Chains A and B, each alone.
Chain A
Amino acid sequence: MRDTAHGPLAPLLPGAAALAIATVYLIALLAVETQSLIIGLLMLAIVTVLGVSRTGLWASVSRSFSEREDALGLLSIVAAFAVVAFFHDHHFVLLLVVTILLYTIAALGLTIQFGYAGVMNFAGASFFGIGAYTAAVLNTQTAVPHLLVLPIGGLVAALIGSLLLLPVLRTRGHYAAVVTIAFALLFKTFLEVNDGLGGPQGLQVPGMNILGWSLNDNMTFGGFELSFYANYFAVSMVMSIGTFVLLRRLDRSWIGLNFDALRLDETAAGCFGIDIARWKIIAFTFGNFLIGAAGALFGMVGGFVAPNNYTFADSLILVSILLLGGIGNAWGVAVATIIVVVVPEKLQTIQEYRFLLYASLVIIVLLFRPEGLLPRPVRRYFAGWRP
């Protein structure tokens, strides 16, 4: 008996073609400097997405992304390297690429919490900041190897997050969200009045150094001069790949199922033996660890941390990435992060209005594609498995 959902794999071509077009488009968008051209390119993207999303083409692209993840994952890595190779000596563009990768990791952490387990976290930027501050303190005050600082940043974020567990577990839905909002506000105030952590001026973060290799030095390959951000790109890429693999395995296991069960109906989940508190704690801790680790690296990349970089507004941006991309879909999160990071940077004219842009973008998406750009597909435990 053939099983509909686990029939032959979807073709790779639509996904690969979409990826290639998106890569070329992204390179063009990043390379163009004239405002009118940038606006033209953005309009083109909007019109294309609106046009294609009504046809079967869009569905076949998302089918090939959900079923051919291994191949398309590899191709995405190649695409990212292509972008970096193209802009190999542009500091600014490479910094954007690194920012995209690290925000993606943070948004994936939030996906575990909010997308999978339904635990609201409106303090994402705070946990990101905890990671960055951890890096600032450890890199200046101690001799802890910098590669180790990344997981320590994650652990500190997870640990401080556990302070929130009691109020988060005792409340449901919106009330839990309010608890995290309060934490985000408290966190910023705490940093501002804490002289040990630099107060409102913040702290310098020494750059990363792996076994004597300083990542803040530009490298030359043959005649090629590489921006030092290419080094950070390599480290961020490894972290992103690890995070993607982790998320995929989580989602395709009984743990992912437990998260879904408690998100969709806590009472019913409890009646089938699922320990609600335990799984919420696991989701919250895993998520904060990822956000904190990404934040630690982000601190080292930027070289500087200050309370104003990790405000409630930044947490909202993380949440809007999820809404925009498709709650619970890792690919959607990556696409949405690119949009949210790149568009305001390229559209210099709207700098002060960027929150207005995010807000309208989220509203438009919620109106026309309530499940986000790439809705989450039904769980498949093993790609291509059939009974």
Chain B
Amino acid sequence: MSTQTTVQLTAKDYGSDQDVRWCPGCGDYSILAQVKKVMAAIGAKRETTVFVSGIGCSSRFPYYMSTYGFHSIHGRAPAVATGVKSTNPELDVWVATGDGDALSIGGNHFLHAVRRNVNMKILMFNNQIYGLTKGQYSPTSPLGKKTKSTPVGSVDYPLHPISVAIGAEATFVARSIDVNVKHLEYVLERASKHKGTAFVEIYQNCNIFNDLCFEYATAKETKDDTTVYLEHGKPLIFGKDRKKGIRLHGMDPEIVELGGDIKEDDLLFHDERQAEPSLAYLLSRMHHPEFPEPMGVFRAVERLTYEDMLTGQVRDAVQSKGAGKLAELYDDGETWVVN
């Protein structure tokens, strides 16, 4: 590569010259802004950064970045990104996807990218609806959801993205909300530094087809009681006055009031680095309205990445057999001479 970018780039420098075509008020704007901020914060190079997407509102994302970008087809972004990363492991690869793109049509690719631990960041904009096709229920819509395609309510049980990712052996799993910009920025930065597949579920408001679906987690009056922010090594405490906590009762979480007999030490302490994903999974099963929903990093563990092992095998083969020579390739097996 001929020139080295040494100039400090600002968030604005990561935006392309294309007009952003999301609906005014869409949560995607905030995600785009925080991603650009994180790019600047980590000093990402535009020339080695690639955004890959599938289909859906979220998947227009690459057009709005000044990095390399690939707007692929519905559900396939993780597979496209796997090809990119396998070819050039030096690239920073980000996948922008949605709940339909990642968990419905692309469910298979999502699972397998995650279990291979390809070093890519998967940002899943979850708005619990199909927006680009104008309002059908999605695989994360709650049971009974009334939409254009389910006038009397959906009869599909929803998938829980964090649980799915953990089930697929994810090494990094986190959740944030579009409007909580500071937290979103923190989570994205954490994801950017993870070596391996980093899955981030972002609660994103679709103000046209599913407005306020995460209002409980964003409204000033309720958000402190409906969310709990995870911090590694710290107890799970939440509530307006930080008087409530999560305690384990046998294998189940329960909400307890702090004070009296119950002290902070009795609470569940978060450990994002646990090798076994059981705790992270348990947290992923805490749903509104029974529980506050955890925000932050559920799980962050180290494991060899796919592309490191893939290119490692090539390196080992070259070391043990020498760089391939065509004449030797052709001579593999019995040969004979005709005079």
Whether chains A and B associate is no
